[in-house]
């Protein structure tokens, strides 16, 4: 039996991937989440948008080396098989991608979103927010 | 009227939402979704739909609970709030005052982490309050 001493963390983090046809803009993000800009709850999603932009690496998939794994494009090992498949498909179409991680210890908004998991898509944006780690 | 307070044990934010206008749970749901300006079936729509259920379906209506089950056991609503629910005295006084004017008093313990402090109260007020600022009916 191993005994751990000291504090035990209960924090979590979620890796996300966003694929878009153009640079990600706040208005398009709000539309994907299903809220109008004048909604009284839009500020919740504006904060999520800001956190996503600040926490992500941006890659223009037109310029990636398609002979290596998408994990090399972002220098990470946290891409799920579904994310890798979407990135490989998107690279062939010359789209843009944002990859990053939000964690539950930063803001209340991030804490909330780290307790959720979802995959959303419309004609312009694909948002994978399924990779949670506790 | 929404009464926010922090629990004495862990300092968690909790709310008691008192409704004055007669309204059904289904009408409340429609009103919240309409006020939130969310697209049907979207992530934001689900969020508000769940929030409605958390408050008005799964939370305890203190007024109904007292009147239906505990009016004989406790001599007053204040006694019920203080001894059974162990609410702070200041909150008990405010709820006792609002008792006759309210059709329901929902004791909401938030399931969403962002519903804290001023932000949480403002968020709930915009969606749930009987007559929020800027709305005439």
Q: Quick one: pLDDT band at residue B131, thresholds 50, 70, 90?
A: low
Geometric angle at alpha carbon A60, from A83 and A58, rounded to 5°: 70
The pLDDT tens digits of the residues spanning B2-16 come to 999 888 777 889 999
Does B45 sit within 8 Å of A112, measured CB to CB?
Answer: no
The pLDDT tens digits of the residues spanning A117-130 come to 999 999 999 999 99
- What is the phi/psi pair of residue A26, to 5°? -55, -45
The pLDDT tens digits of the residues spanning A87-108 come to 999 998 889 999 999 988 888 8
Residues of A with Cβ-Cβ distance to B36 under 8 angstroms: 35, 39-41
Burial B57-92 (b: 16+ CB within 10 A, else e): eebebbbebbeeebeeeeeebbebbbeebebeeebb
Closest chain A residue to B112 measured between Cα atoms? Answer: A112
Structure tokens at A68: 């290596």
Closest chain A residue to B132 measured between Cα atoms? Answer: A40
Closest chain B residue to A47 measured between Cα atoms? Answer: B114
Is 50 exceeded by the pLDDT of residue A54? yes
pTM, rounded to two decimals: 0.87
Name which of B36, B113, B116 is nearest A40 (Cβ-Cβ). Answer: B36
Is 50 exceeded by the pLDDT of residue B137? no
Mean pLDDT of B93-122: 92
* Residue whose pair of structure tokens reads 């402090």 in the numeric block: B117
């Amino acid at each position: 039996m191993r005994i751990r001493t000291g504090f035990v963390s209960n924090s979590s983090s979620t890796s996300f991937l966003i694929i878009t046809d153009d640079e990600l803009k706040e208005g398009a993000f709000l539309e994907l989440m299903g809220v109008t800009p004048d909604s009284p709850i839009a500020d919740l999603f504006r904060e999520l948008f800001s956190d996503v932009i600040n926490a992500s690496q941006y890659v223009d998939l037109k310029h990636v080396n398609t002979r290596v794994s998408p994990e090399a494009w972002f220098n990470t090992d946290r891409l799920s098989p579904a994310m890798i498949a979407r990135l490989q498909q998107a690279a062939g179409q010359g789209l843009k991608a944002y990859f990053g991680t939000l964690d539950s210890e930063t803001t209340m908004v991030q804490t909330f979103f780290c307790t959720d998991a979802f995959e959303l898509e419309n004609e312009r944006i694909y948002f994978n927010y399924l990779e949670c780690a506790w | 009227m929404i009464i926010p307070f922090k629990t004495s044990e862990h300092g968690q934010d909790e709310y008691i939402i008192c409704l004055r206008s007669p309204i059904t749970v289904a009408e409340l749901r429609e009103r919240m979704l309409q006020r939130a300006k969310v697209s049907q079936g979207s992530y934001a729509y689900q969020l508000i739909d769940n929030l409605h259920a958390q408050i008005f379906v799964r939370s305890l209506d203190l007024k109904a609970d007292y009147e239906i089950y505990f009016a004989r056991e406790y001599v007053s609503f204040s006694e019920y709030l203080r001894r059974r629910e162990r609410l702070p005295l200041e909150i008990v006084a405010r709820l006792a005052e609002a008792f006759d004017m309210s059709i329901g008093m929902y004791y909401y313990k938030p399931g969403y982490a962002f519903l804290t402090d001023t932000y949480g109260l403002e968020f709930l007020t915009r969606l749930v309050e009987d007559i929020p600022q800027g709305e005439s009916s």
